[in-house]
Structure 1
Amino acid sequence: MISDALIRIAALCVVLAGAETLHGIARTTLVIPRIGKERAVRLSALTGTVLAFAICWLLVPSIGLQSQGAHLMLGVGLAVFMAGFDIVIGRWLMRKAWAKIWPDFNPGTGNFLLFGLLGLCIIPLLVWYGHRL
């Protein structure tokens, strides 16, 4: 039973990472040319959070977690995974310097990625409450 839940959590991580990668590509190719980078980056924090919520709405219930704490821990785990994924993609695929990666997590530089990650921490809990209604 535990291994089944871990496989489902790993699948959720992969689906979120793939969706957010496509989301970033769409932002870069479709949105930035129309509204500019600064506004597109801010908007993408909101749309990325909505996308993550939709994915979690579909996939989190099948994991079979039963408590608030378990859902909160899942959210924290997802946020840590996505932050790590963002760092790995930036550093090793896009070959960004560390000095270019860290500002993505700093709201003071106009990037709201940190807020999206904080939202991801509570999304599984919100999904759990939503499915219980």
Structure 2
Amino acid sequence: MKAVLNEIDGYDHSRSHKVGTPAIFGLNFQGVSTAQKLPASDGLAGGYTAKNVPGPLLVKNLDFVNTEIGALTSEIGKRHLSGSTTVILSAKHGESPPTPPRSPASTTARCWTASTPPGRSSTPAPPTW
């Protein structure tokens, strides 16, 4: 993520040279997909602990992606690029718990909202775009 933040600031990925801000960025977060499939990692249970309830490993990875997307949108805002930037979030794998047919995005959002502790936002930081 640091490389992308450097590029938003107009530098190359290592922040060594000023090169201008690219028109397109691409990020690939595999952690959520992996956490859905693994039985456990780092002492945390993966997958779902109950129907539509993500396990601790999946929650950890959802938190990570949430934080990274928040950093991305925050940096875009700091550089006054919000008016000329479109952020598109997409899922490559889209696995979801076995439930009646639904879109993977709605299933993940429903699971995340159901598992979010009280007093904590169930959505990423409010976008400035």
Q: TM-score range by the shorter chain?
A: 0.3 to 0.5
- Report the structure number with the largest CA radius of gyration: 2
TM-score by length of 2: 0.44
1 or 2, which has the higher strand percentage?
2
1 or 2, which has the higher helix percentage?
1
TM-score by length of 1: 0.43
